[in-house]
């Protein structure tokens, strides 16, 4: 996410350490505590992916949502091993579309395909 996108969520980017891991952890902690922030974050994830089609960023945002909950529970819910969940969300392998859809759905996001106008 860019600083502008972070500000739209009501967060000052300066409040977070520059390290990506620390940033992700900081966002995940806030998601755990603040349901309104969590819903705004989900909306931003959807908007960002629909505009950018950046799968790496999308998977990272799913990782942040997963960190705000229980990864073992998520793994059980989607029937994917915990280690594989981490690999998928960290971009260490090439996940199937079904895996991404399952993880996103378990985290409260819906992926759908629609016909384009041509």
> What pLDDT, in 10s, does the model give residues 81-114?
888 888 888 888 888 889 999 999 999 998 888 8
> What pLDDT, in 10s, does the model give residues 69-78?
998 899 999 9
Can you give the chain as a three-state secondary structure string?
A: CCHHHHHHCCCCHHHCCCCHHHHHHHHHHHHHHCHHHHHHHHHHHHHHHHHHCCHHHHHHHHHHHHHCCCHHHHHHHHCCCHHHHHHHHCCCCCCCHHHHHHHHHHCCCCCCCCCCCC
Is residue 17 very low, low, confident or very high in pLDDT (cuts 50, 70, 90)? Answer: very low
pTM: 0.78
- Residue 35 phi/psi, 5-degree rounding, is -60, -35
Predicted pLDDT of residue 106: 96
> What pLDDT, in 10s, does the model give residues 54-65?
999 999 999 999
Predicted pLDDT of residue 2: 67
Predicted pLDDT of residue 39: 95
How far is Cα 31 from Cα 89, in angstroms, rounded to an integer?
17
| CB of 103 closer than 8 Å to CB of 76 | no
């Amino acid at each position: 996410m860019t600083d502008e996108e972070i500000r739209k969520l009501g967060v000052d980017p300066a409040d977070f350490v520059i390290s990506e891991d620390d940033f992700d952890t900081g966002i995940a902690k806030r998601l755990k505590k603040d349901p309104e922030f969590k819903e705004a974050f989900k909306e931003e994830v959807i908007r960002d992916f629909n505009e950018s089609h950046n799968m790496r960023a999308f998977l990272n945002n799913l990782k942040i949502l997963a960190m705000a909950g229980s990864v073992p529970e998520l793994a059980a819910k989607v029937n994917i091993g915990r280690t594989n969940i981490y690999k998928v969300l960290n971009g260490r392998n090439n996940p199937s579309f079904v895996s991404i859809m399952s993880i996103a759905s378990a985290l409260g996001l819906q992926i759908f395909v629609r016909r384009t106008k041509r």
